[in-house]
């Protein structure tokens, strides 16, 4: 099943997004064992990402060669476990977190690539910048935090079956991404789209998708959560 799922998704994204840009597939590996993740890598997955710091620490060294990202909520007291160890942190949701990442990166003499997280639906239960706040924070982070490099945006979408509503939010995120690029920011990634909505995201400008269930099937959380 895994091989079939990976092949299906890789085929779907092979022509790029609606703008002809290459799409990066990120396998969201929360609750998956290192062996399962390695199976996915052998099937063609090149980028894997954890949501939880503890899982990243437990599994990272056990994985076959791959690009490792972090996509979950990151507390400032845990940045030391991921900074310099992952290629990209998707979930920078505040200037305070960006500053903590910068401080540790400076101590360890690394430049940490990050995405700024947008709470696209303005949901109180989710973290992230509002669309309005992103521009000010991009400028402040880019000018004052020299060990953090902004590589793009990550949009967190509300759970919704309203395709038009989601498409509008995806379009809004893409417009902001393009606006920032036009202002000279060297952005590469617009990370938006998960298993439930990645096809809509691709049709509206996403060039990086984060898929878990669509690759691995429904998660089994067992009794540990």
* Domain chopping of the chain, boundaries: 2-216
Residue 170: what are its φ and ψ, rounded to 5°?
-60, -45
Of the candidates 213, 176, 206, the one whose C-alpha atom is nearest the C-alpha of residue 191 is 206
Q: What is the full per-residue pLDDT of the chain (225 aa) written as tens digits?
A: 999 999 999 999 999 999 999 999 999 999 999 999 999 999 999 999 999 999 999 999 999 999 999 999 999 999 999 999 999 999 999 999 999 999 999 999 999 999 999 999 888 888 899 999 998 899 999 999 999 999 999 999 988 889 999 999 999 999 999 999 999 999 999 999 999 999 999 999 999 999 999 999 986 655 443
β-pair partners for 211? 27
Contact (Cβ atoms closer than 8 angstroms) between residue 201 and residue 193: yes
Reported pTM: 0.94
Rounded Cα gap, residues 184 and 150, in angstroms: 12
Helix residue ranges per DSSP H, the chain = 2-12, 34-42, 53-59, 95-107, 131-144, 163-182, 198-203, 213-216
- Retrieve residue 153's tokens: 């945006």
Rounded Cα gap, residues 137 and 139, in angstroms: 5
Rounded Cα gap, residues 133 and 196, in angstroms: 27
CATH fit for domain 2-216, picks 3.20.20.10, 1.10.3720.10, 3.40.50.300, 3.40.50.2000? 3.20.20.10
């Amino acid at each position: 099943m895994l091989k079939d799922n990976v092949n299906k998704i890789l085929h779907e994204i092979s022509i790029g997004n609606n703008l002809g840009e290459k799409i990066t597939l990120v396998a969201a590996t929360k609750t998956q064992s290192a062996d399962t993740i390695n199976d996915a890598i052998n099937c063609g997955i090149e980028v894997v990402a954890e949501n939880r710091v503890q899982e990243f620490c437990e599994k990272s060294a056990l994985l076959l060669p791959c690009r490792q990202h972090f996509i979950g909520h990151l507390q400032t007291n845990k940045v030391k476990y991921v900074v310099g160890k992952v290629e990209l942190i998707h979930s920078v949701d505040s200037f305070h977190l960006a500053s903590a990442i910068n401080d540790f990166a400076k101590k360890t003499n690394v430049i940490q690539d990050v995405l700024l997280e947008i709470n696209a639906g303005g949901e109180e239960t989710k973290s992230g910048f509002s669309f309005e706040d992103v521009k000010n924070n991009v400028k402040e982070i880019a000018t004052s935090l020299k060990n953090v490099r902004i590589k793009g945006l990550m949009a967190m979408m509300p759970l919704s079956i309203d395709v038009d509503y989601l498409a509008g939010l995806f379009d809004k995120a893409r417009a902001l991404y393009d606006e920032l690029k036009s202002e000279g920011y060297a952005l590469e990634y617009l990370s938006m789209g998960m298993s439930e909505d990645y096809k809509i995201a691709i049709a509206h400008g996403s060039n990086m998708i984060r898929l878990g269930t669509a690759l691995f099937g429904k998660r089994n959380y067992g009794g540990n959560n």
